[in-house]
Structure formats: C-alpha cells, structure tokens
Amino acid sequence: MVTTTGRRILVVEDEAMVAEVVERYLRRDGHVVEVLHDGASAVEALESRPPDLVVLDIMLPNIDGLDLCRHIRATGDTPVILLTARDGEADRVAGLALGADDYVTKPFSPRELAARVQAVLRRAGGGSATATELRFGSLVVRTGPRTVTRDGVPVPLTAREFDLLVHFARHPGQVFSREQIVSAVWGDAFEGDEGTVTVHVRRLRAKVEPDASAPVHLKTVWGVGYRFDP
C-alpha cells in the first residue's frame, strides 16, 4: 500500500502568517515541511533538497510563482499546487498550462489545502506494484509504475496529466463532458471552472500526440466534450 504521509513538502509563500498556517496543517499530517518566502531561495532548495511536492504562491519576490513553476517543469515532474488570488483567473490558467497539478484560491481553508496535498501525492505515488498495460498503437500506458511511452520513448507527464490520460484510455470511444471529467479526475471538491479540462487536454495532446493540431487519440466532440480513440 502506498502511503502519502511523511513526504517532503516545500511551501513557497511570502505571507508569513499564511505560510505558518499551511506548515502547521501539513505537519499535522506527518509531512516534513520546509517554508521559504521567495523564488530565488526556492530554486536553490529544489536543486539541493528536492521535495515530493511544492505548494507555491504565484506572487513572490525575486522570481514569481509562474516562473518557478516553469523551472520545476523544465527539470522534473514534482507535483505543484498553486496558491492564487481569487480574481487571478489568468494566473490560474497560465499555471495549469505550465504544468501545475492543482490550485487553491485565497482566502482558502487550510484543511482543504491539506486534503488537496494528500490527493495529489496519492496520485503521484502510484498504485499497485503490478503494472497494467494499455496499448494504443505506439502509445503505451502502464498504470502500475505510472509510465507512458510513445514509440518506445518515455513521455514525462504530471500526476494530473497521467490520471487524465488513464481515465480516457480506460474508456475508449466514450464521450465525456468537461463536467464528467472534472468529477472523475479532480473529484467533487474541485472549485475551479471547466476550462481547466481544456487546458490539461491541450497540454496532454502536446505530449502524447504525434501532431497536437491533428490528434489521433484525444478527440474533441464539439459541443459535448472529449473522446479517446484507441
């Protein structure tokens, strides 16, 4: 059984009171928490003390959260949860496009944030040690080790992208609305809008399709949602 407790969490938040509350709730769940207050310090920590997950405020001194998210995605697949202003829709969309796994809007419930951390870690941690293999032409999805290859080449996906792909791949030919996808992949606690699905599908296509502009597998069903063609 995969456990999500005892993981290393990096919290990057310049508001000391917010950072203190987040740290306290995450430590209650048994995590090892490091708190930093600016982007430059976070870059150094990511290189010297790699965490299992990053809770990342978008508005930061030195290096802002979006640039830091871009840096994280350029160097690996560490899960990222963004903390954003309630009216910062453009920032949320940009963060998801850069590869963030989830976001929480301020002001937020620290208990909800802790639950989202657990959920993202659980998805990133994988499931059964025995791989279930799904093959679709040159695209191979192995759900045990949570790996994807195309033409034998590994395809790096975030935890959320992988879950989205598996959801589609396990229901080939079935059309899902954005609302259904949010419920299946993000869960009922999700408070964002359905545009999040569009961003993730676009990003997933760019990684798994030979030509994202003419997708072979991830098809749009106009006016309804999306369908996976095997």
pLDDT value of position 207: 94
Can you list the residues of the chain whose pLDDT is less than 70?
1-6, 86-88, 125-132, 188-189, 191
- CA dist 195 and 138 (Å) reads 29
Class of CATH domain 133-228: mainly alpha
The answer, as to whether pTM is greater than 0.75, is no
Residues of the chain by 3-state class (helix, strand, coil), percent to 5: 40, 20, 35
Q: What is the pLDDT of residues 72-110, one digit of tens each?
A: 988 878 899 999 876 667 888 888 888 888 889 888 889
pLDDT value of position 123: 76
Q: Quick one: fold of 8-125?
A: Rossmann fold (3.40.50)
pLDDT value of position 188: 67
User: What is the domain partition of the chain in residue ranges?
Assistant: 8-125, 133-228
